[in-house]
Amino acid sequence: MRNAKNLLFSSFIYALTALMVFVLVFVIFFIVREALPLFREVPLSDFLLGQRWMPIGYVGNPAYGIGNFILGTLLVSAVAMLFSVIVGVGTALYLACVASDRQRSLLYPFIDLLAGIPSVVYGFIGLVIIVKFFLKLGHPSGVSVLAAAILLSVMILPFLVSSISDTLRKLYMAHLPSSNALGVEPWHATAHVILPLAGKSILLSSILAISRAMGETMAVMMVMGNANLFPTLLGKGETIASLIALEMGTAEVGSTHYHALFAAGLILMLLLLIINTAINAIQKKVLG
Amino acid sequence: MRFSAKFVKSWAYISMAVTVLVIVFLFAYVFFMGSGAISLAFITEMPRGAVLGSEGGIWPAIAGSLWFTGTALILGGIPALATAVCLVFYCKDKRIYNFIRSVIQSIAGIPSIALGLFSYSLLVRTMGIGRCVLAGGIALAIMIFPFIEVRIEKALNEIPRALILSSYALGISHSYTVTKLVLRAIRGELVSGLILGACFAMGATAPIIFTGGVAYAAPPDSVMQPAMALPLHLYLLLAQGTTMPQVYGTAFVLMIIVLVSNTVATVYARREKHTWK
Amino acid sequence: MEMILSLRGVTASYDSIAAVKNLSLDIPRNRITAIIGPSGCGKSTLLQCMNRMLEEEPGATVSGEILLAGKEIQRIPKEDLRRRVGLVFQTPAPFPFSIYKNMTYAPKYYGLKDGESMRLLVEEKLKMAGLYDEVKDDLGKSAYKLSGGQQQRLCIARALTVNPDVLLLDEPCSALDVKSTSIIEDLLPELKRNCTIVLVTHNIAQAKRLADRVAFLYNGELIEYNDKSAFFDTPQETLTRDFLGGARG
């Protein structure tokens, strides 16, 4: 009886795990499979570097170039990361070097609230606050890469803060006693010992934050203007994720347009995969 | 104090203040602007009006969100628990472990819109089940699976090995050890992981936008019907270009859900947290 | 004297490095057998072979024959064997439950349902472990609130709840203070009326106080094994004499 129960339980665990792993592998396989037919019609270089995206050839031939979308994705994520790092490192410093245990135990879950807010709510607040603000300043439409980057920087802040503050806290606990013993003022030690030591891992966390930002869809789509333009800070732009979200509903299954959207999704996945793999490799090498 | 020290100190204080202000502002703004729209009728009535949703309530969106979230939690949460248990207690082969880990990491890196894309073309179009709660729930389940699995696996790994071995040393089977000792010991992290995973699913729009979420539908009776969802409703109202009180009201409801579920998850996890001494 | 455990040519290795080498040993029923030796000599590994707990360690392998009351232990289902041969670890590892639930955890698994007999069982085993009087008023208290010595006695009591024939103790006092150690030492001679005890210790004085028979392990090999008085009064081997004299502690 007990043996039967045990066997039943372990079979259940194995079966469910195997099923889930199969599904996950299948998802990846499926996306790749649906993407590949595009490259029979459109050369990879045209797809990646082309600036014309004209899936339905009303005038002239259809064109499938996602160059601007790739650049838009990278630009908005990188700018968002820059903003987020400035505030994120400062916040992490406060959490690691100033906050008492009690403060920390309240502030961490408080900051994590940011990660729980749905991205449409971010998009909505971006529209009514940031876009309105840009309009007031005289920007013609208010929607822009910069507006999206500001919004995105708030969305990735909790991930940056939690990973950087972990590193800073460890360094602070390890080095402060010896620095105090030398009579060095703690903030001096923070500025000259702890921050420089944390530099590499702050850099890694920042790149990881970019990869988080790149997958974000809704909020960015709502404030970035969605136009196939070469992205500039104050101009409109469009990301790969927005492209898929905006056009999937209208693409005929099996059409070149449809395969192109899958290919765009695949490129986004590959970008994320390259960044994440590189970070893992560097982390193993540099941080041990 | 030297300049560099002063600079770093002010940087820390100012940044912390900015962070706290941003969070307080986000919630206060939505609560302040949304409170006017909130009433019992708003929560319990169907949306109406010439521009749909400009009058009436959001009841079908709330019900639909619960359907989507429930489906995702069952299809994503239970396998996440099983996989975490399998990786920590059953998987003896390092290579299989590494393979499963890297698959999970790859899925965690897939943008949620791509999961929507997958579910849309496989389930909705190719298999022809149409837009429904199930198709959206599957996309959401795949999205929250890594999120929950990673948290549970971390909690499982923090259980001291001596506890598990003590149970085995009493002649007790793996299954009893897992269900009666291990799962009870990580109850806090387990429940909070599931709550936060549910919250994540409830707030997501991209995976359901083509797969099961629609602009208007009565609350569904089964997972084979399409449904409204709170974040999608908010998005569609906004897409019509107006910012009416109903938009703020919908955002209000979403933010309340975030606030309550995060608080419950944190408090519960703290209360159940063992220091393993 | 009746032997309950017989080891015949047992070798145990971690990743093919032998920790116990071709070791043979008979352990008498209802006695305390102490296994002593310097740290790293394979004492704990040997103990873990006896109820197949070593199999839970990744990369560990065992060969040779171990008989429990005449039956090869590989032929006894792992779980039955471990119920009959209990093991208490060096550092106390109470479950994150109340004292009472720590005690009922295993009996429930073995099918005991009746509340009254459960209560009696808990009381009896806590008494055997010398803990009952200290905790009887507050059995619902978390086991983590007990002192280290109390936790270890709870672990012994918990191991007794399944009525084992043999109790393996892996340096049960090394993480404890003097007072808790002496309470546990007083307890063991009482316990041997009901079960056989195998005690691993690096504390020679403890072996001298408690054991009926003493085995000395060095570098994974059994150097000497004898009745306590013979072992301590007239050790045969140079290595044993050196160890007892402190030369190779």
Q: How many CA atoms lie within 13 A of B83 on its CB side?
A: 29
Mean pLDDT of C168-191: 89
Residue C62 CB coordination number (10 Å): 18
Q: What is the residue-averaged pLDDT of chain B?
A: 91
Please choose, from the candidates C198, C90, C196, C184, the residue with its C-alpha nearest in 3D space to the C-alpha of residue C129: C184
| Kind plus residue range of the DSSP H or E element containing B56 | strand B55-56
Q: How many CA atoms lie within 13 A of C74 on its CB side?
A: 9
* pLDDT (0 to 100) of residue C39: 83
pLDDT band at A280 (very low <50, low <70, confident <90, very high): confident
For the cut 60, the answer to whether the pLDDT of residue A114 exceeds it is: yes
Q: How far is B186 from chain A (nearest CA, A)?
A: 18
Candidate from A10, A114, A268 with C-beta closest to B175: A10
> Which one of B7, B13, B16 would you mutate to disrupt binding with A, by most A Cβ within 10 Å of its Cβ?
B16
Token pair listed for B75: 């299809």
Q: How far is CA B80 from CA A13, B73, B146, C36, C248, in A?
A: 10, 10, 7, 46, 52
Candidate from C58, C93, C97 with C-beta closest to B162: C93
Q: How far is B41 from chain A (nearest CA, A)?
A: 22
- Secondary structure (3-state) at C42: coil
Q: How far is C59 from chain A (nearest CA, A)?
A: 22
pLDDT band at B125 (very low <50, low <70, confident <90, very high): confident
Residue ranges with strand state E in chain C: 3-14, 17-28, 32-36, 60-68, 71-72, 85-88, 166-170, 196-200, 213-218, 221-227
The residues in A 39-68 lying below 8 A from B, measured between CB atoms, are: none
For the cut 60, the answer to whether the pLDDT of residue C248 exceeds it is: no
| C neighbour chains, 3+ CB pairs within 8 Å | A, B
CATH number for position B73: 1.10.3720.10
Q: How many CB pairs under 8 A join A and C?
A: 3
For the cut 70, the answer to whether the pLDDT of residue B275 exceeds it is: no
Strands B55-56 and C60-68, by their bridges, are: unpaired
Contact C106 B172 (CB under 8 A): yes
For the cut 70, the answer to whether the pLDDT of residue C247 exceeds it is: no
Task: Tell me the β-bridge partners of C26.
Answer: C6
Q: Does C80 touch chain A (CB under 8 A)?
A: no
Mean pLDDT of B223-236: 94
pLDDT band at A147 (very low <50, low <70, confident <90, very high): very high
> Which one of B94, B158, B170 would you mutate to disrupt binding with C, by most C Cβ within 10 Å of its Cβ?
B170
Say how many Å lie between the first and final Cα of chain B, rounded.
42
> Which one of C49, C51, C79 would you mutate to disrupt binding with B, by most B Cβ within 10 Å of its Cβ?
C79
Q: Which residue of C has its CA nearest to B175?
A: C109
Cα separation, B254 vs B261, whole angstroms: 11
Contact B19 A191 (CB under 8 A): no
* pLDDT (0 to 100) of residue A34: 93
Candidate from B165, B167, B277 with C-beta closest to C144: B277
Token pair listed for A49: 């570097």
Phi, psi of C227 (to 5 degrees): -60, 155
* pLDDT (0 to 100) of residue A224: 93
Structural domain for C229, as ranges: 3-244
Mean pLDDT of C160-176: 91
Q: What is the residue-averaged pLDDT of chain A?
A: 90
Q: How many CB pairs under 8 A join B and C?
A: 71
Q: Does C144 touch chain A (CB under 8 A)?
A: no
pLDDT in tens, A2-33: 788 889 999 999 999 999 999 999 999 999 99
Q: Does A5 touch chain C (CB under 8 A)?
A: no
Candidate from C58, C83, C144 with C-beta closest to B170: C83
Question: Residue C79: its chain B contacts at CB < 8 A?
Answer: 171-173
Q: How far is B245 from chain C (nearest CA, A)?
A: 50
Residue C40 CB coordination number (10 Å): 11
Contact B110 A114 (CB under 8 A): no
Question: Residue A93: its chain B contacts at CB < 8 A?
Answer: 8, 11-12, 15
Q: What are the sequence ranges of the domains in chain A?
A: 2-54, 68-287
Q: Does A171 touch chain B (CB under 8 A)?
A: no
Q: How far is B266 from chain C (nearest CA, A)?
A: 20
For the cut 70, the answer to whether the pLDDT of residue A179 exceeds it is: yes
Contact A120 B205 (CB under 8 A): yes
Percent of chain A past pLDDT 70, that is, above it, reads 98
Q: What is the residue-averaged pLDDT of chain C?
A: 91
pLDDT in tens, B2-45: 888 899 999 999 999 999 999 999 999 999 999 988 888 888 88
- B81 falls within a domain: yes
Contact status, residue C141 vs residue C135, Cβ threshold 8 Å: yes
Mean pLDDT of B241-255: 86
pLDDT in tens, C20-62: 999 999 999 999 999 998 888 888 999 999 999 998 888 889 9
Cα separation, A28 vs B244, whole angstroms: 41
Cα separation, B184 vs C101, whole angstroms: 12
Q: How far is C51 from chain A (nearest CA, A)?
A: 19
For the cut 70, the answer to whether the pLDDT of residue B180 exceeds it is: yes
Contact B203 A128 (CB under 8 A): no
For residue C126, what are the contacts with CB-CB under 8 A and spacing of at least 6? C103, C132, C135, C136, C154, C157
pLDDT band at B254 (very low <50, low <70, confident <90, very high): very high
Cα separation, A13 vs B101, whole angstroms: 16
> Which one of A6, A8, A11, A27 would you mutate to disrupt binding with B, by most B Cβ within 10 Å of its Cβ?
A27
- C221 falls within a domain: yes
Cα separation, C172 vs B132, whole angstroms: 60
Residue C238 CB coordination number (10 Å): 10
For the cut 60, the answer to whether the pLDDT of residue B250 exceeds it is: yes
- DSSP assignment letter at B213: B
Token pair listed for C193: 């009326």
Mean pLDDT of B75-86: 97
Q: How many CB pairs under 8 A join A and B?
A: 261
CATH number for position C109: 3.40.50.300
| B neighbour chains, 3+ CB pairs within 8 Å | A, C
Position with higher pLDDT, C102 vs B51: C102
Contact B231 A124 (CB under 8 A): no
Contact B122 A30 (CB under 8 A): yes
* pLDDT (0 to 100) of residue C57: 85
pLDDT in tens, C113-140: 888 999 999 999 999 998 999 999 999 9
Mean pLDDT of B244-263: 92
- C39 falls within a domain: yes
Query: Is the CATH number of domain A68-287 1.10.3720.10?
Result: yes
Q: Which residue of C has its CA nearest to A5?
A: C109
pTM of the predicted model as reported, rounded to 2 decimal places:
0.90
pLDDT band at B277 (very low <50, low <70, confident <90, very high): low
Radius of gyration of chain C (CA): 18
Q: Which of A263-267, B240-244, C187-191 has the lowest mean pLDDT?
A: B240-244
For the cut 80, the answer to whether the pLDDT of residue C221 exceeds it is: yes
Q: How far is C206 from chain A (nearest CA, A)?
A: 40
Position with higher pLDDT, A267 vs A3: A267
Residue ranges with strand state E in A53-175: 53-54, 63-64
- B93 falls within a domain: yes
- B71 falls within a domain: yes
Contact B262 A113 (CB under 8 A): yes
Q: How far is CA C57 from CA B159, C23, C41, in A?
A: 16, 20, 18
Question: Residue B58: its chain A contacts at CB < 8 A?
Answer: none
Question: Residue B185: its chain C contacts at CB < 8 A?
Answer: 95-96
Amino acid at C89: F
pLDDT in tens, A119-133: 999 999 999 999 999
Q: How far is C168 from chain A (nearest CA, A)?
A: 25
Q: Which of A207-211, B159-163, C159-163 has the lowest mean pLDDT?
A: A207-211
pLDDT band at A183 (very low <50, low <70, confident <90, very high): confident
Mean pLDDT of A38-65: 87
Q: How far is A250 from chain B (nearest CA, A)?
A: 10
Cα separation, C37 vs C204, whole angstroms: 9
- B52 falls within a domain: no
pLDDT in tens, B185-209: 999 999 999 999 999 999 999 999 9
Task: Quote ipTM for the complex.
Answer: 0.92
pLDDT band at C249 (very low <50, low <70, confident <90, very high): very low
Please choose, from the candidates C19, C20, C40, the residue with its C-alpha nearest in 3D space to the C-alpha of residue C7: C20
